[in-house]
Amino acid sequence: MHFMYDNMIALAMATVVFFILASMQLEATQMGIEETSRNAAKNQAQTMATWLERDLAKMGNNMDLGANPIVTHGTESHAYSPSGERTTQFVFSYDSLDADGNEVRVETRYETTEETQLVDGEEKTVYELERAQKDGPESFDPDGGSGPVLRYFDIDMLDADGEVTGVPEDFESIRVRFAVLAPFQDEDTVLREVHRSTTIPYPPAERR
């Protein structure tokens, strides 16, 4: 009898230890998933901010003083964006030289399209950014962008006081704001989005 009793106690203790270890393993796995998700969102946001800065720094390069480099700036209301608007399409230009040394007008287009994504059982509106470019009279060719991971995307032109302006003569800087959705989420996820804001001086050095 004592032998059976001892075995039952040992089995009970082993079961408790098993569940403790299993719980610790599950928690560690969950933490690993959250960390991977967080790092993926941060890396994507940083990569996107870097190429946007590089892109927009070319805006107006080699163009005549007073020329407006913005071809199109389409927006619509968006409650989630800090400005209350999101950019639907943004086309800007600059002058460059082609392979034969001839001056050519280059246009770069950012265009956002709306999609829905299921996150932790809830449908959320997200946006995909498509980047396209053309030289001279050619048609736009897609060349980069983002996946359907943006919660908002907004471009503003700012004056010397940091206020939004639509007057080309008052442009002092370009501000881009966006948020990237973390790819893996559940009810315990802490960091659900990564927000980025970057400001590029304008006009570029070639026109100062």
User: For 34-43, how does the pLDDT look when each residue is reduced to its tens digit (9 = 90+)?
Assistant: 666 678 788 9
CA angle 141, 146, 197 (to 5 degrees): 115
Of 67, 61, 90, 71, nearest to 176 by C-alpha is 90
Prediction pTM value: 0.79
Contact predicate 85/77, CB 8 Å: yes
Question: Across residues 146-152, what is the average pLDDT?
Answer: 91
**pLDDT surpassing 70 at residue 199:** yes
Contact predicate 44/193, CB 8 Å: no
- Residue 4 pLDDT class (50, 70, 90 cuts): low
